[in-house]
Amino acid sequence: MKRESNLQDDAFRAEVAQWMQANLQGEFEVLRHRGGPGDEDAFPALRKAWEQRMAEGGWTCVGWPTSYGGRDLSVAQQIIFHEEYARAGGPGRMGHLGETLLGPTLIAFGTPAQRERFLPGIVAGTDYWCQGYSEPGAGSDLANVQTRARLDEATGNWIVDGQKVWTSLAHESQWVFALARCEPGSVGHKGLIFLLMPLDQPGIEVRPIRQMTGTSEFNEVFFDGAIAAADCVVGVPGEGWQVAMGLLGFERGLSWIGQQMHFEHQLQLICDAARANGADRRPALRERIAQAWMGLKVMHYNTLRTLSAGGDGSLAREGYIAKYYWSNWHRDLGKLAMDVLGLDGDIVSDDFSRTRLQQIFLFSPSDTIFAGTNEIQLNIIAERALGMPREPRARA
């Protein structure tokens, strides 16, 4: 039985690899290994066309149930898909937030009408979502969100005022899922609401943030009397924290396998540069390259241990260390890239192989800040994974 399963997995791996080879060429050839962290604003229109090509081939939302347009692949086959996608140089996914975060959240917490309305566009690669969580005063401390939602008694709609920041690809999205405070006077986890909102409406302004990498994948989003329809509340008003945490649980899962394959490609670029300029003959750099390779393997095997997460986004204990581990590893990889380049790393060039390594160095420190700073991640590990007493918090 085990041998039969292995043969099926091998056949599936070959199917994915063959499809990628047949389709990631021609107009899409330029997308190979593009659109990852620090490069997310590369070729957005073409990457959207790629999403639709994938949808035509049945390769979007592969882990979703077939009743919602997915393939209902086993965990093993989803791992294979992400590995082969990254190995072939598949570009960063424009539909990532819809497919891996919002879609599973609607399947777990949404109404039948919400699933029927929003899931097909994600599967088809035509609808793109951004995440309205972080605010100027509520980044790592998500429970401190101050964006307000008040109920319009006449229509049943929610009127939203406030600001979100570091909103990835908001300027390329049609919709935002946002966390807001709907009960005046509430603090912390209480009194929150999870809303789905179209971005193309009066009362919403999106302003790109230009970074030192030269890219602008992050944005500020301002809400000034924006409207979330009555039927676009996920879960119960006042209990949005449960939905928001379920969504973050879905973030830590199978899609990280593809991220790690992307990291493997970056490490290979560093090795290639070291061989080309002779840096590989320096013992200290060889040792750091070896440590990076070992760290990548540790990261991969720990991710495989986390795949016991439930359908509600809950995490296995091992999953709590993942973000802290990979973000620090990637930051160190950026430093290694610049040390391998040496003085050439200080020169602006049209050589993308060099520019890519510079981008890793410039962007990777943000890994330890977004989605929870290192300090917040350590609190989460201590309190949620290890059950230690909560850190004292100032009273509001």
Q: Which residues are part of the catalytic machinery?
A: 251
Comparing CA positions, the residue from 120, 79, 140 lying closest to residue 369 is 140
Contact assessment for residue 91 and residue 37, using Cβ atoms and an 8 Å cutoff: no
Cross-strand partners of 177: 131, 196
Strands (E), the chain: 129-132, 148-151, 158-164, 175-181, 192-198, 204-209, 218-228, 233-238
Structure token pair of residue 312: 């509600």
Q: Is the dihedral of CA 119, 122, 127, 132 positive or negative?
A: positive
Judged on CB neighbours under 10 Å (0-12, 13-18, 19+), 351 is exposed
Q: Is the dihedral of CA 99, 101, 106, 108 positive or negative?
A: positive
Q: For the stretch 238-262, what's the b/e string if a residue is b when 16 or more beta carbons lie within 10 angstroms of its beta carbon?
A: ebbbbbbebbbbbbbbbbbbbbbbb
Residue type, 235: G
When computed from its CA atoms, the radius of gyration of the chain, rounded to whole angstroms, is 21
Cβ-Cβ contacts under 8 Å for 341 (sequence gap 6 or more): 273, 277, 354, 357, 358
Backbone region of residue 243 per phi and psi (left: phi > 0; alpha: psi in -120 to 50; beta: other values): alpha
d(CA 291, CA 295): 6
d(CA 372, CA 133): 11
